[in-house]
C-alpha cells in the first residue's frame, strides 16, 4: 500500500510527498527493530555495515594471521596445517648474537630487520628534512608557487612500480645516467649492482617519491601558525633563525610528530618501489621485512606461511609499540 | 485445435529446440591455463583439428603470466578451484593434484612414446615423492611432456673469429671455455666473457657435471665436493670479471636471464637452455653467428638439466574423460610432430625424436642449433634426470640460487653459503613432508 502511494507520488512528481513516503517505508522496519531489540540497540544497526566490513577485511585476516603463525607444514589451507605452538617465533628469535645476523638460525630475517632499520633511519631523516625545507620555501611568496607545489606533489600520484621502472631506466648499466657519464668520458658505474650504491639509490628514490606528501602536511601546519606571532617577533627585532627556532618549530611540533609517525610506519612497510628497483639485491642488501614476508610466504618454495605470519605479527607488534611511543611523545610535546 | 493455438505450439517447440540444440552441440567446456606464449599459439593453431575430432569438447585457452602458474595455481588447487588443464614446469611439486589419465588412454602407447619422463609427474614414484621408495609404486600417467628442454650454452661465434681465438672442442672443460671466453672478451672489448641465468635449475647442470652426487641413498645430500668445486669456481668468475655481475647481483628468488646481453653481442658464452633457439633466431637474425656448445664438461660428465612443460589435468575437474581426450589427442605422433614443428622444441616423444621434426619457419642456423640440442639429450646425467623428477626440486633450486648469490656478492663465503643451503633445504623438507 505504502509502496503504491510512493509510486503514485513519484508519478505525480510530488517531491515533498515522495520524501515523506520514503521516510514512512524506512520508519516501519525501524519501529519493528526498536520494538524487538530496544531503542539503545538501534545504534548497532547503524554501525553494522561498517562493523561487517571491518570484521571481514581487517579483523578476520588478523585472526587468521595469528592462527597461521602457530602452524607449520606446506599446506595452504589453515585446517590442513599442523599446530606447532610457538616454534616459528623461537626459530625467528634464535640467535647467538642479535648484532650478527650470520649467527641467527633465520639469518635472512635478521638481515631484513637490520636493512629495514637502516633504511628507515636514513629515509625518514632525509625525507622529513627535505620536506620541511621545501615546505618552508613553498610557504614564502615565491614566483610560480602553485606550480612548484604541484611539481613536488606529482611523484606521490605515481604508482610505486612506475617510479621504480623510471629510475631503473636511468640507473641500469645501459641507462640514462651511464649514457651521460659515458658521453662525458667517464667510466660506467653499476649503480644498482654494488651494495652501498644500491642501498643509497633505494633511499633516494623512496625520498623522491614520498617527499611531496609530507611537504603538503608540513605546509598545512605552517599555514596554521598565526601570522601575528611573527609580526610581534619582528617588532621585537627577532632574527629569522630565532623566529624559526622559537616560533615555527615549537608550533609545528604536533604536525612534525604526525609526519614522523607516518614516515616511520610507511618506511617500515617499504616494499614495492624498492623490490621493483633492485629486487632486494644485490644479495640481500635492499631486502626489507615486507619482502622477506612476501618471499617466505608466497614467492619462494616451499611456502612457509607460518613463518611469514609470525614475522607479520612481530612487525605489527613493533609498529604498535612505535605508534604508542610517538603518541606519548606527541602528548608531551603539546 | 483452434487456430490461435497453432502458432503458440510452434513457438514452444521452436524455443525448446533452440534451448536443447546447444546442449547437444557443446556438452563440455574445459579451461586450459597456458603461460608459454609460443606454445599457447601453437595449441590455438591446432585446435581446429581437435574440434573436428571432438566437436562436443570446447577448450578455452587462458594465457597467463608464468608467475600465475608458479604462485597462483598451487593456491587455486589447494582451494579446490583452478583450471581443468595447465602447462606446468614443476612436475613433482603439484603431483598430488594431477589427474591419472591411464583409465582413458592407451597406456602402452604412452609408455613406449614417453618412457621415463612420465615418472617425473608421479607422486609416489621411486624418487618422485621425496621419500625414496617406501614400497609404493605409482604407475599412473599424468602428463604429456609437450617439450623437452635442456640447459646448456651458446657462443657468439663471430666474436671468436674477430678475436682469432680457436673455439674449444666439444667436450672441453668449464675452465677451458672460461679461459677462451675471457681472451675473446678482452680482445674484442666485449662487456662480459660469460653469463649464466640466475636460476638454481641452470646452476645444477654444471654442478652435476663437476661431480656432485646431489642424492645420497635415500636422502638429498646436496652439498658435496663436486657441488663445492663448481660453486667456488663460479664465485671466482665474478671476482675476476669473467661472469656478468648484473645477472646474479640481484635479490630474493628473482629469476634473471642474459638473453638481451647475448642478443646485443655483449656476452661471449651464454649458459641458458634450448628454449632460447627460437627467440635468438628471431632477434639475432644475421647480426652475428652463434652456435650451441651444450654443457661444458667436468669429472661428472657434460650434463645439462632437463626440463620443459608438462600438460596436466587436475583431479578436481568435472570432466576427466574430456581432459584425457584433449591431452591424449596432442600426444598422438602426428599431432605432437605438428606441435613441435610450431614451438621449435626438442621432442620428448621417442618416435618423433627418431624421425626428426620438420621445424616450420626456422632458419638453417636455428635448425642446426635444435639438432645440436637433440644430440645433447644423450649426455643427460642420471642424477640430473632424477633431480628433475624430485618432488622438492623447486625448493632446492630456489635455495641454491639465493645462497650462491650471497656468496657472489660477498655477503657469505662459499663455505657459509654451502652450510646455509643445506640448513635451508632441511628446513624446507621438514615443512613439506
More confident residue, A213 or B253: A213
Q: Does residue B386 sit in the same domain as residue B324? A: no
Q: What is the pLDDT of residue A334?
A: 64
Local structure of B1: helix, strand or coil: coil
Measure CB to CB from residue B432 to each of A102, A287, A302 and give the nearest one: A302
Structural domain contains residue B290: yes
Residues B398 and B424 in one domain: yes
List C-alpha distances in Å: B319 to B84, B85, B99, B324. 8, 11, 11, 9
Are residues B102 and B194 located together in one domain of the fold?
no
Pairing of strands B28-34, B149-156: unpaired
| B5 within domain boundaries | no
**Region B89-101: what's the mean pLDDT?**
90
Is the same domain home to B116 and B207? no
How much is the pLDDT for B20? 52
Co-location of B54 and B202 in the same domain: no
A73 contacts in chain B (CB < 8 Å): 431-432
Helix extents (H) in chain A: 2-11, 15-37, 42-54, 60-69, 87-92, 107-138, 145-157, 160-171, 176-183, 195-223, 227-235, 240-243, 249-268, 272-278, 289-294, 305-333
Domain count, chain B: 2
Query: For A269, how many CA atoms within 13 A lie in the half-sphere containing its CB?
Result: 10
B177 found inside a domain: yes
Domain that holds residue B336: 29-148+308-367
CA distances from residue A263 to A119, A224, A325 in whole angstroms, order as listed = 12, 21, 15
Does one domain contain both B287 and B331? no
Task: Say if B374 falls within a structural domain.
Answer: no
Q: How many CB pairs under 8 A join A and B?
A: 95
**pLDDT at residue B149 is higher than 90:** yes
In this prediction, residue B70 carries a pLDDT of: 85
On whether residue B341 sits in a domain, the answer given is: yes
Instruction: Please indicate, yes or no, if residue B11 is contained in any of the structural domains.
Output: no
Contact A284 B406 (CB under 8 A): yes
Name the helix (H) or strand (E) containing B174.
Answer: helix B174-188
> Residue A93 — φ and ψ, nearest 5°?
-95, 5
Place A9 in a pLDDT band, splitting at 50, 70 and 90: low
Nearest to A193 among B246, B398, B420 (CB): B246
- Residue B407 domain-assigned? yes
Do B260 and B400 share a domain, yes or no?
yes
**What CATH number is given to the structural domain containing B70?**
3.40.190.10
Same domain? For B194 and B240 the reply is yes
CB atoms within 10 A of CB B24: 8
Residue B58: strand pairing partners = B29
B319 touches B54 (CB < 8 A): no
Q: What are the chain B neighbours of A301 within 8 Å (beta carbons)?
A: 93, 253, 392, 394-395, 397-398, 428
- The reply to whether B287 and B157 lie within a common domain is yes
Domain boundary among B367, B401, B416: B367
* pLDDT band, very low/low/confident/very high, at B129 (cuts 50, 70, 90): very low
> Residue range B343-353: average pLDDT?
92
Q: Which residue among A172, A298, A301 sits closest to B398, beta carbon to beta carbon?
A: A301
- ipTM of the shown complex: 0.82
pLDDT of residue A53 exceeding 50, the answer is yes
**pLDDT tens-digit profile of A318-328?**
989 988 887 78
Bridge partner residues of B62 (DSSP):
B33
Say which range, A206-220, B28-42, B384-398, has the weakest mean pLDDT: B384-398
Please indicate, yes or no, if residue B271 is contained in any of the structural domains. Answer: yes
At residue B126, the pLDDT reads 45
* Residues B85 and B28 sit within 8 Å (Cβ to Cβ): no
- Of A26-40, A48-62, A164-178, the least confident: A26-40
List pLDDT tens digits, range A238-288: 898 899 999 999 999 989 988 998 999 999 999 999 999 999 989 999 999
**Are B282 and B327 in the same domain?**
no
B218 and B86 in a common domain: no
Q: Do B74 and A283 touch (CB under 8 A)?
A: no
Nearest chain A residue (CA) to B251: A281
Of B202, B149, B50, B190, nearest in space to B348 by CA: B149
- Based on the domain organization, do B299 and B321 belong to the same domain? no
Amino acid at each position: 500500500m505504502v509502496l503504491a502511494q510512493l509510486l503514485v507520488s513519484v508519478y505525480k512528481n510530488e517531491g515533498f510527498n515522495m520524501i515523506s513516503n520514503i521516510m514512512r517505508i524506512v520508519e516501519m522496519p525501524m519501529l519493528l527493530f526498536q520494538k524487538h531489540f530496544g531503542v539503545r540497540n538501534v545504534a548497532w544497526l547503524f554501525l553494522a555495515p561498517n562493523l561487517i566490513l571491518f570484521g571481514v577485511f581487517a579483523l578476520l585476516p588478523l585472526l587468521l594471521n595469528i592462527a597461521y603463525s602457530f602452524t607449520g607444514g606446506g599446506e595452504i589451507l589453515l585446517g590442513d596445517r599442523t599446530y606447532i605452538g610457538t616454534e616459528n617465533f623461537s626459530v625467528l628469535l634464535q640467535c647467538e648474537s642479535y648484532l650478527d645476523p650470520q649467527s641467527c638460525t633465520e639469518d635472512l630475517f635478521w638481515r631484513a630487520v637490520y636493512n629495514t632499520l637502516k633504511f628507515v633511519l636514513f629515509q625518514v631523516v632525509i625525507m622529513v628534512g627535505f620536506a620541511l625545507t621545501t615546505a618552508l620555501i613553498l610557504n614564502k611568496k615565491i614566483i610560480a608557487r602553485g606550480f612548484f607545489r604541484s611539481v613536488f606533489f606529482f611523484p606521490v600520484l605515481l604508482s610505486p612500480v612506475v617510479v621504480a621502472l623510471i629510475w631503473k631506466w636511468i640507473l641500469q648499466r645501459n641507462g640514462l645516467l651511464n649514457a651521460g657519464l659515458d658521453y662525458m668520458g667517464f667510466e660506467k658505474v653499476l649503480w644498482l649492482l654494488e651494495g652501498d650504491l644500491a642501498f643509497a639509490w633505494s633511499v633516494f628514490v623512496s625520498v623522491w617519491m614520498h617527499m611531496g606528501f609530507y611537504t603538503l602536511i608540513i605546509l598545512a601546519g605552517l599555514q596554521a601558525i598565526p601570522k601575528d606571532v611573527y609580526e610581534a617577533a619582528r617588532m621585537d627585532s627577532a632574527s629569522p633563525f630565532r623566529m624559526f627556532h622559537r616560533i615555527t618549530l615549537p608550533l609545528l611540533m604536533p604536525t612534525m610528530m604526525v609526519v614522523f609517525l607516518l614516515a616511520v610506519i610507511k618506511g617500515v612497510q617499504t616494499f614495492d618501489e624498492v623490490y621493483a628497483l633492485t629486487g632486494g639485491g644485490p644479495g640481500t642488501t635492499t631486502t626489507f621485512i615486507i619482502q622477506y614476508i612476501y618471499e617466505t610466504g608466497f614467492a619462494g618454495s616451499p611456502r612457509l606461511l607460518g613463518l611469514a605470519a609470525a614475522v607479520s605479527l612481530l612487525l605489527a607488534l613493533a609498529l604498535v609499540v612505535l605508534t604508542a611511543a610517538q603518541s606519548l611523545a606527541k602528548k608531551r610535546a603539546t | 485445435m483452434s487456430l490461435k493455438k497453432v502458432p503458440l505450439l510452434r513457438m514452444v517447440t521452436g524455443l525448446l529446440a533452440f534451448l536443447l540444440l546447444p546442449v547437444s552441440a557443446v556438452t563440455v567446456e574445459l579451461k586450459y591455463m597456458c603461460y608459454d606464449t609460443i606454445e599457447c599459439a601453437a595449441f590455438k593453431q591446432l585446435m581446429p583439428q581437435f574440434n573436428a575430432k571432438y566437436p562436443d569438447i570446447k577448450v578455452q585457452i587462458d594465457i597467463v603470466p608464468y608467475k600465475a602458474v608458479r604462485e597462483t595455481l598451487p593456491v587455486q588447487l589447494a582451494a579446490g578451484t583452478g583450471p581443468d588443464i595447465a602447462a606446468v614446469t614443476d612436475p613433482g611439486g603439484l603431483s598430488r593434484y594431477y589427474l591419472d589419465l591411464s583409465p582413458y588412454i592407451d597406456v602402452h602407447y604412452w609408455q613406449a612414446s614417453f618412457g621415463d619422463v612420465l615418472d617425473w609427474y608421479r607422486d609416489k614414484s621411486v624418487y618422485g615423492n621425496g621419500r625414496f621408495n617406501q614400497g609404493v609404486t605409482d604407475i599412473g600417467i599424468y602428463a604429456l611432456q609437450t617439450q623437452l628442454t635442456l640447459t646448456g650454452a651458446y657462443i657468439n661465434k663471430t666474436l671468436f673469429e674477430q678475436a682469432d681465438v680457436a673455439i674449444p672442442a666439444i667436450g672441453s672443460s668449464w675452465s677451458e671455455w672460461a679461459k677462451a671466453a675471457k681472451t675473446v672478451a678482452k680482445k674484442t672489448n666485449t662487456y662480459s666473457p660469460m653469463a649464466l641465468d640466475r636460476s638454481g635449475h641452470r646452476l645444477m647442470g654444471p654442478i652435476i657435471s663437476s661431480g656432485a652426487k646431489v642424492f645420497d641413498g635415500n636422502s638429498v645430500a646436496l652439498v658435496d665436493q663436486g657441488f663445492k668445486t663448481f660453486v667456488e669456481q663460479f664465485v671466482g668468475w665474478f671476482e675476476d670479471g669473467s661472469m656478468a655481475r648484473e645477472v646474479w647481483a640481484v635479490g630474493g628468488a628473482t629469476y634473471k636471464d642474459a638473453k638481451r646481453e647475448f642478443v646485443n653481442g655483449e656476452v661471449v658464452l651464454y649458459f641458458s637452455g634450448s628454449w632460447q633457439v627460437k627467440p635468438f633466431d628471431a632477434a639475432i637474425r644475421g647480426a652475428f653467428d652463434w652456435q650451441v656448445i651444450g654443457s661444458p664438461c667436468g669429472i661428472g660428465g657434460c650434463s645439462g638439466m632437463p626440463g620443459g612443460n608438462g600438460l596436466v589435468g587436475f583431479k578436481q575437474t568435472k570432466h576427466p574423460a574430456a581432459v584425457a581426450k584433449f591431452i591424449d589427442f596432442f600426444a598422438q605422433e602426428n599431432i605432437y610432430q605438428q606441435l613441435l614443428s610450431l614451438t621449435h622444441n626438442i621432442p620428448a616423444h621417442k618416435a618423433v625424436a627418431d624421425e626428426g621434426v620438420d621445424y616450420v619457419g626456422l632458419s638453417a642456423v636455428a635448425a642446426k642449433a635444435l639438432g645440436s640440442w637433440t644430440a645433447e639429450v644423450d649426455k643427460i646425467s642420471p642424477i640430473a634426470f632424477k633431480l628433475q623428477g624430485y618432488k622438492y626440486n623447486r625448493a632446492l633450486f630456489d635455495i641454491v640460487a639465493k645462497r650462491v648469490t650471497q656468496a657472489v656478492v660477498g655477503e657469505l663465503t662459499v663455505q657459509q653459503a654451502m652450510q646455509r643451503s643445506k640448513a635451508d633445504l632441511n628446513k624446507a623438507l621438514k615443512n613439506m613432508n
